[in-house]
Amino acid sequence: MTAVRALWFRDPVLSILDQRELPRRTVVRRLSRVEDVAEAIRTLAVRGAPAIGVAAAYGMVVAERGGRHTPERAAGLLRATRPTAYDLFVGVETVRRAWASGGDPLAAADAYRTRIVEECHAIGTAGAPLFATARRVLTHCNAGALATVEWGTALAPIRVARRNGARLFVWVDETRPLLQGSRLTAWELARERIPHAIIADNAAGHYLATGQVDAVIVGADRIARNGDFANKIGTYEKAVVAHENGVPFYVAAPWSTFDARRASGASIPVEERGEDEVLEVGGRRLAPSASRARNPAFDVTPAKFVTAYVTPAGVVRQRAVGRAISEAARARAFAPD
Amino acid sequence: MTAVRALWFRDPVLSILDQRELPRRTVVRRLSRVEDVAEAIRTLAVRGAPAIGVAAAYGMVVAERGGRHTPERAAGLLRATRPTAYDLFVGVETVRRAWASGGDPLAAADAYRTRIVEECHAIGTAGAPLFATARRVLTHCNAGALATVEWGTALAPIRVARRNGARLFVWVDETRPLLQGSRLTAWELARERIPHAIIADNAAGHYLATGQVDAVIVGADRIARNGDFANKIGTYEKAVVAHENGVPFYVAAPWSTFDARRASGASIPVEERGEDEVLEVGGRRLAPSASRARNPAFDVTPAKFVTAYVTPAGVVRQRAVGRAISEAARARAFAPD
């Protein structure tokens, strides 16, 4: 288990570490209505695709305990929060089925949570050998314990490799506009004393081009059947530039991120968030009052730029990803949306 | 002439618009000692390669009027401020020669200033036809009037095309860490009511990949003989991603940015600035206290990613850039460092 936990459930309340406040303050929010859970997801108090899925799974339990909603209505509230992360839909559907069929939603949510944590640990074990020699690793956004409940996706192999004795250094893209890298990934790494340096997103290309990055690893919000994937805005640029420089580029994700019904990345819905996230920094407006902004929260990276996917079942090379996804979908035995 | 001027000289004082304060406040700094001019350049109160060159040229005049320094010592003070922009060295050397040979340094500085403004206007005229059909333009950092005294380099063709009736829309990279895009380029565009949207630097790739950018144009801090060039950190990523997507990528610069003695970009000195520029945003620390940062201010983009250079003598395709540079160097008839 890792030192950080993004959320925990004590019947009937879901508690989350409010990620908007980190690293300045450690604030726990107690969510006792499904509407509060939905709002926490919408506002990024809880974020990261796997963590969103688990939060939403418990959000269904919160709704059931509250007694004010049908399974369908609760699921609708949670699904409407954010469109891109597939895990949200998987987490909601997993519990909705249990609840609608008269089962215990809490048991379903607990099992879902356990599965995600175990899969993230398996990702760490599977991916660690990639970092036995790749000592200088670049990551984008936060795909650590905060994003996944425990371990992380992109950070799990780094954590396991480090425990196995690898000496690693992590380049942390700050990840504008919301700075999940400099606020959250750096916070996780600092707590475990993993050497790292924060860089402006703009600087990643410089380090890739000058031979100072041995590998790139990121998480994902949704992976299509052909291996195209959506992840935090800016991921696409890093993937293209890594490819240009012959630096391996890895995508780490649990099965809940793989969308087997989506043929390619072209149809993945990309959330656009409010312009104030770009126009303001730390709550202060730095742009001219007459200027507007655009704020896509994700981009889609074509599979051709991915060296391999780090999955709970091992490292899957780009060409083999379709088969791995199909098997994961059959194991799940339902389509969540 | 454009509505914005970055600096002006009233004997014996150099006045600059303090670019650290924009767009929130319009603050003019009066610099009456060469040390003050050097400090203004070092701290980015005045920035942008051509503007740095002109400020340094007048800095030499300020030094001569002050009577405390030899031409060599004044030149040394100014040259030590920032290593990457070639214009700094050209501006200093232009006035040092006049002063050291008994000429009027003010006449030399005035002539240098006039030349830079005329060259920027010529860049605008030469480059405007590129934007007759390329209506959605991406730019990085600020290469406008603030960066060049008047007109700009990257923004000059946009300004001239607009005055010629072209309907343009500008994607403005915010340009972390110092936000010269969202603070300065947006401010210039807003004053002239040129439609634009600020985006996180991370989002440029998304718009390039989804067919929403017709051309990219940037300025430069130093261009080597083979066409490799240094510019604000992040430029390299935009160039690689533009190339990947078949979007034309233009570099606009006056002759003072062309370093004919530098064979390639490999040896261009890249300034690394203080980590606080990354760790703090708008004066507030957002990163964990235990985390460190790295902060290269520039990167080097290989010539192969450049479609063409927009020069005072016209649009020069990438293959022809070496000859154009040699001619410019012969016309200047001195090597500044």
Q: Residue A212 and residue A207: Cα distance in Å, rounded?
A: 5
Which of B190, B196, B202 lies nearest to residue A176, judging by beta carbons?
Answer: B202
Residue B109 structure tokens: 């500085």
Residue A254 has pLDDT above 70, yes or no: yes
Which pLDDT band holds residue A333 (cuts at 50, 70, 90)?
low
pLDDT at A337: 56
Residue A102 has pLDDT above 90, yes or no: yes
pLDDT at A239: 98
Q: Residue B86 and residue B58: Cα distance in Å, rounded?
A: 16
> Mean pLDDT throughout A129-135?
90
- Other C-beta atoms lying within 10 Å of the C-beta of residue A274: 11
Q: In this complex, do A176 and B200 lie within 8 Å of one another by their Cβ atoms? A: yes
Residue B336 structure tokens: 């500044």
List of domains in chain A: 7-119 (1.20.120.420), 126-332 (3.40.50.10470)
Helices and strands in chain B, H and E counts: 13, 16
Contacts of B300 in chain A (CB under 8 A): 209
Alpha-helix runs per DSSP H in chain A: 34-42, 49-66, 71-79, 86-100, 105-127, 145-148, 155-163, 180, 186-191, 204-209, 235-244, 276-279, 321-332
pLDDT at B324: 81
- Helices B49-66 and B86-100, packing angle to 10 deg: 30
DSSP code, position B182: I
Contacts of A10 (CB under 8 A, 6+ apart): none
Give me the interface pTM, i.e. the ipTM: 0.96
pLDDT at B282: 74
Contact B199/B207 with Cβ under 8 angstroms? yes
> Mean pLDDT throughout A55-75?
98
Q: What are phi and psi of A137, to 5 degrees?
A: -115, 135
CA distance B225 to chain A (A): 20
Which of B23, B24, B234 lies nearest to residue A202, judging by beta carbons?
Answer: B234
Percent of chain B past pLDDT 90, that is, above it, reads 90
Q: What is the pLDDT of residues B69-122, one digit of tens each?
A: 999 999 999 999 999 999 999 999 999 999 999 999 999 999 999 999 999 999
Q: What is the pLDDT of residues A208-241, one digit of tens each?
A: 999 999 999 999 999 999 999 999 999 999 999 9
Catalytic member of A36, A201, A221, A299: A221
Within its chain, how far is the Cα of A84 from the centroid?
11
pTM: 0.96
Q: Residue A194 and residue A199: Cα distance in Å, rounded?
A: 16
For chain A, what's the residue count? 337
For residue B215, the SS3 value is strand
Residue type, A193: R
Q: What is the pLDDT of residues B258-296, one digit of tens each?
A: 999 999 999 999 999 999 999 998 778 989 999 999 999
pLDDT at A323: 84
pLDDT at B18: 98
Q: What is the pLDDT of residues A272-317, one digit of tens each?
A: 999 999 999 877 899 999 999 999 999 999 999 999 999 999 999 9
pLDDT at A3: 66
Q: Residue A152 and residue A173: Cα distance in Å, rounded?
A: 16
Q: Is B262 exposed, middle or buried (0-12, 13-18, 19+ CB in 10 A)?
A: buried
Q: In this complex, do B182 and A282 lie within 8 Å of one another by their Cβ atoms? A: no
Partners of residue A284 on adjacent β-strands: A281
Residue type, A226: N
State the DSSP string of B32-92: -SHHHHHHHHHTTSS-SHHHHHHHHHHHHHHHHHHTSS-HHHHHHHHHTS-SS-HHHHHHH
Contacts of A240 in chain B (CB under 8 A): 205, 240-241, 244
Nearest to B111 by CA among B297, B328, B256, B213: B256
Searching chain A, which residue's CA lies closest to the CA of residue B290?
A190
pLDDT at A325: 81
Within its chain, how far is the Cα of B78 from the centroid?
17
For chain A, the average pLDDT equals 95
Q: Residue B179 and residue B326: Cα distance in Å, rounded?
A: 34
Contacts of B190 in chain A (CB under 8 A): 288, 290-291
Q: Is A264 exposed, middle or buried (0-12, 13-18, 19+ CB in 10 A)?
A: middle
pLDDT at B333: 61
Q: Which residues of chain B have pLDDT under 50?
A: none
